[in-house]
Structure 1
């Protein structure tokens, strides 16, 4: 993948340099044209002529066209610069395993059934590894997908990811546009409240008045001050006063309607570019949504100057410009207010899809699991996706009739890592992603885990009490549906005899509820339970080896119960205890 990213980086750098040159040349040309306009207007004032007037008008039109072109080049230059950063980050990610994206910690949920145990959110988490979103909604949606996956959409999501994975250029272009969106949670809250508030349009009488009255005012001004008709002058003065009163009557409403939307037009314009990309890639989605969002952006931009009295008073006396734009905004709100949130969410949905496709693209060796409804979970060559390929140890495991594994092993032999490996790959399956395995056959099941709990001292709860609560939640969920369960050394906070008895009872309860999964334990006696339930339980282990005074691990999963112990050896080696 790195050579492809290097090619994309070189292409983006070349494009940026070309656009930067155009930007600078266009800026210089704008400056020269502006100088020409000043000179022409000066000459026109000194010696008025039709030729000079036409030349001045053409120069002004040329300047405006240059402004539009300059802005477009500026946008394209920003996109090229974003693509440079995207490719540099991906190269650094693959080369140095650098986690650069948001880690999703802001979306943590208390007492989630597996997120804390499996490092789903937080620093160097699965979320941070996958995340390529930029908007707040995108980051939030990615967290929701990982914390609350839906088994109904797996096949559809797999197909979407597989279709988008090869299209690197489109994905990077979309992500580059998304990086221009400077949003926040507060922005969506205000926009949602505004869009869903009742939209009362201007009355028909008001709409007619703000069209006809300015026309009458202009005619009165021409007749009164050019044609010297005194009656027209009086009418013009009255209309100016009336227009001023009308404008001041509406300025409060206009300000209230756009309250909190300062610079919102810039955010919406960036959204418009993203939605346009979505429309081109997925023609069946959001038809004309980009044009509607662009219209909303322009309306808010136009209304932004209403507070500038030096501009707004003369402009509205003559044309009722801001009232017309205000009326158009109310009409837009009435027609499209209920859809705007959905349109912005489509960008978030595409960001998440691009993140998933990027994950798939970076790991072509990962396999899409085959789904079944027969409660079979089989992984061949399964490993943890966050461990670098050259350091990753893979194993095979199959759960079907023997639905539960009792896993033993000495300290540091890899039990907890293996549990997280299974949990993370089950989660990847649930969200539609390829798994870190050579081959996988999976029945999608809700994921439950009790592996790493912390003392809730601020709540007056001990580790033991927190663990009992988690086990109770697991049992309650299993009573409603079959689940995939991962348990690591349960009942640590009690004495050995009580712990052994309690662990056996927990296992028997899990078997009665038809759970699939793995329980890791140091208690060898617990593993004798397989003699009583040979058709449901199987023993697996990780072994360590002491050779030439050194302790080594191969992290390979074996059948049977662990035989080696290393705690005493390590304490002797470190001089904590004597021979």
Structure 2
């Protein structure tokens, strides 16, 4: 059976051949355009020698037309090559994701890092070597935001998870759709612009511009000004040609009824009108121009999505938002907006400065913008949110497609429990070691002991990151996985905060305080505590950890606690204890330390700190003497 990597490599090879073909076509067109230039030059010389003006005009006309045609064809093929190159890069990225080179991906979600979040910082959801960097296939601002929300927010209910799962199952095999959607979101620059300013602008209204009397008044005035100005220009041309070359052009006598000062006066009036609320009007134009490229990106993505049919009810409901009550598609509406933005962008030239006082282009563009905002502005955010969510779902579907043997988790109700068969860390690739896990009544806390570097922290992160994937509607790195919807809290990566004069121990206390408060509020809490209270002395650490574990047990939560304090393992033997001991251990071969990273029942029987010190070059034996 062909592997996922081989499928990507096959697609990559196909796009590579297409790229070579398109480059060959571009080279051929460049040669043809040069030949057209030589042909035109030859016709010019021949017509001059034979004194044949008809040959000259005919030859130049044909040459110019062919040259323009080839220029347009060159641009079409160049754009096609751009898309093919982007598809090539997408498959190359997919291969790197499978081969463990994903840590070099540029977008690692560093902008989403929040050290105060309940779990995302401790579990490396964002940043270098993060879950986001590994799985993200979103390129627009909203797509990245949607994926961030999915990975950091607790789902409302199990149906919310199953809806995503159904969407992911359908999108996973649709590799052409997913990759093309990714390319559409990536190929145009400025696609990561924050559109919040645009959303707020869409809700604003200009009472003056939308009045019918004002609209028709401005249109009629600009038409009259344009006609009288053209008449004036024609009369001036006739005067100059007659005076300089004694050549007359046809000027209807009725044009003489229009004195020169009429268009001059009208242009003066229009210049005054253009000064009215100029700053507000230009602000609107500047905002539309600012988001021009982003709008083109979303337009192309929406148009592409509208051309597909889906079976998942969740995706179908999303796509229904791309049509208004009249059945008009979002792509058609946003295309109109995109064209207005293109016209606005064309203001940056001298011709606009000349024509604007005559045609009042600025007002007509403002009117077009305002009429579009009235008709479609309220739906704009809904369209972009839909595309952003599809991007996020496609990112999750990549996980499903790349890992076909991972299981889709089952969400259960009732008392908190986690059941997992062969669960491993999704980001470790071939290096992962899988374990079985069964945590349910009467046990609520799994106490994990073990030597340094034996795998305690990695196992804790394995649980946490698979829970995050499960809640996102993604497959988890396990053969089977069952869990409840719980509020996930972690306390794992703690450091001093010099800016706020907070020690690492107090920072740990603040994080644990959040867990305790959540449990007192009656929430179903899943907590992961790594090396609990490591920032204080052994006596206080042991006493404090015992008190905290008992308190969290009483509230009916579920949690994992790793520790070096083997004395805490005695809590399993207390009456009505809800604590169960597990450990990781090491073994030695030829005086070398080895770890199997397998979870075992009971308290750790081994220690390796002295051995590791010796490996570091510390002479333990001489110090003992």
TM-score by length of 1: 0.89
Q: How does 1:86-101 map to 2 (within 5 A)?
A: 86-99=90-103, 100-101=105-106
Q: Distance in 2 between matches of 1:245 and 1:61?
A: 42
Q: Distance between the aligned counterparts of 1:247 and 1:31, measured in 2?
A: 47
The equivalent of 1:493 in structure 2 is 535
SS at match of 1:113: coil
Q: 1:483 offset after TM fit, Å?
A: 1.3
Partner residue of 2:373 out of 296, 313, 333 = 333
Alignment of 1:539-578 (within 5 A): 539-572=581-614, 574-578=617-621
- State the Cα distance separating 1:499 from its structure 2 match: 1.6
User: Is residue 312–residue 322 contact of structure 1 (8 Å, CA) maintained in 2?
Assistant: no
Q: Any unmatched runs of 5+ in structure 1?
A: none
The one of 94, 99, 114 aligned to 1:109: 114
| SS in structure 2 at match of 1:338 | helix
Query: 2: CA distance between counterparts of 1:324 and 1:468?
Result: 62
TM superposition shift of 1:35: 8.6
Displacement of 1:343 in angstroms is 2.6
1:434-453 matches, cutoff 5 A = 434-453=475-494
* RMSD between superposed Cα atoms in Å: 3.3
- CA drift of 1:412 comes to 1.3
More moved, 470-479 vs 493-502: 493-502
Note the C-alpha offset of 1:221: 6.6
Residue in structure 1 matching 2:226, options 194, 211, 214: 214
Shift of 1:333: 2.2
Tell me: CA distance 1:318–1:467, structure 2 relative to 1, closer, same or farther (3 Å).
closer
Partner of 2:298: 271
Structure 2 spans left out of the alignment, 5+ residues = 239-249, 310-318, 324-328
Asked whether the equivalents of residues 303 and 326 of structure 1 are also in contact (C-alpha less than 8 Å), the reply is no
Partner of 2:346: helix, strand, or coil? helix
| 3-state SS, counterpart of residue 347 of structure 2 | helix
Answer whether contact 1:103 1:122 (CA < 8 A) is retained.
yes
Measured against aligned partners, the alpha-carbon deviations of 1:225-281 in whole angstroms (never above 9, x if no partner) come to: 633637636346512541364156437465333225556433322332122122223
Shift of 1:64: 6.3
Q: CA deviation at 1:434?
A: 0.5
Q: 1:20 aligns with which of 6, 20, 23?
A: 23
Matched, 1:159 2:174: no
Q: What displacement does 1:14 show?
A: 2.3
Given candidates 286, 291, 294, the residue that maps to 2:322 is 286
8 Å contact kept, 1:157–1:432: yes
Deviation, 1:198, is 2.0
Shift of residue 186, structure 1, vs aligned partner? 5.5
Q: How far 1:439 moved relative to its partner?
A: 0.8
Q: What is the CA–CA distance in structure 2 between the aligned matches of 1:193 and 1:48, rounded to whole Å?
A: 61
Does the Cα contact within 8 Å between 2:137 and 2:391 map onto a contact in 1?
yes
The aligned counterpart of 1:180 is 187
CA shift, 1:7, in A, is 1.1
**Native 8 Å contact 1:453 1:463 kept in 2:** yes
Tell me: CA distance 1:379–1:315, structure 2 relative to 1, closer, same or farther (3 Å).
Answer: same
Contact in 2 for aligned 1:240/1:317 (Cα 8 Å):
no
**1:196 alignment counterpart:** 203
Q: Which one of 272, 275, 285 corresponds to residue 258 of structure 1?
A: 285
Q: Separation in 2 of the partners of 1:164 and 1:111?
A: 33
Distance in 2 (alpha carbons) for counterparts of 1:117 and 1:16: 43
1:247–1:10 distance in 2 versus 1, CA, 3 Å: farther
Deviation of 1:365 (Å): 1.8
Contact 1:279-1:285 within 8 A present in 2 as well: no
Please say which of residues 24-33 and 352-361 is displaced more in the overlay: 24-33
Say if 1:457 and 1:546 are closer, same or farther in 2 by CA, change over 3 A.
Answer: same
Question: Secondary structure at the residue paired with 1:339?
Answer: helix
Give the superposition deviation at 1:208: 3.2
- State how many pairs are aligned: 575
Residue in 2 aligned with 1:229? Answer: 253
Using the TM superposition, give the Cα deviation of residue 322 of structure 1 relative to its aligned residue in structure 2, in angstroms: 5.1
Maintained 8 Å contact 2:289/2:344? no
Match of 2:401 among 318, 342, 361: 361
